[in-house]
Structure 1
Amino acid sequence: MADIQDYNSTPKYETFSYLPAMSPEKMRRQIAYIVSQGWNPGIEHVEPTRAFNYYWYMWKLPMFGEQSVDTIISELEACHRAHPNHHVRLIGYDNYSQSQGSSFVVFRGR
Structure 2
Amino acid sequence: MTAKHYKLNLLNYIKEYKIVRLTQGTFSFLPDLTDEQISKQIAYAISKNWAINIEYTDDPHPRNAYWELWGLPLFDIKDAATVMYEISSCRKAHSNQYIKVNAFDNTRGVESCSLSFIINRPLSEPGFTLHRIEDHGRNQRYSIHSYATEKPEGSRY
Please report the TM-score for the alignment, with normalisation by the length of structure 2. 0.60
Change (3 A) 1:54 1:69: same
Partner of 1:61: 72
Task: From the two aligned structures, give the one with the greater strand fraction.
Answer: 2
- Give the aligned residue type for 2:120: F
Give the unaligned 5+ runs of structure 1.
1-7
CA RMSD of aligned residues (A): 1.4
- Give the aligned residue type for 1:88: I
Residue from 96, 120, 144 that aligns with 1:107? 120
Contact persistence 2:102–2:115 (CA under 8 A): yes
Aligned residues: 101
Over residues 45-80 of structure 1, what are the superposed CA-to-partner deviations in whole Å (9 max), with x where a residue is unaligned? 001xx1121210011110111112011001011011
| 1:29 and 2:37 are equivalent in the alignment | no
Matches within 5 A, 1:1-110: 9-47=20-58, 50-52=59-61, 53-96=64-107, 97-110=110-123
**Runs (4+) of structure 1 moved beyond 3 Å?**
none
Question: How many angstroms apart in 2 are the aligned matches of 1:76 and 1:62?
Answer: 12
Contact persistence 2:56–2:67 (CA under 8 A): yes
Greater relative contact order (Cα 8 A, min sep 6): structure 1 or 2? 1
Contact persistence 2:26–2:115 (CA under 8 A): no
Give the unaligned 5+ runs of structure 2.
1-18, 124-157
Partner of 1:3: none
Please report the TM-score for the alignment, with normalisation by the length of structure 1. 0.84
- Give the aligned residue type for 2:28: S
* 1:107 CA drift (Å): 1.1
Question: How many angstroms apart in 1 are the aligned matches of 2:122 and 2:31?
Answer: 17
- Give the aligned residue type for 1:104: F
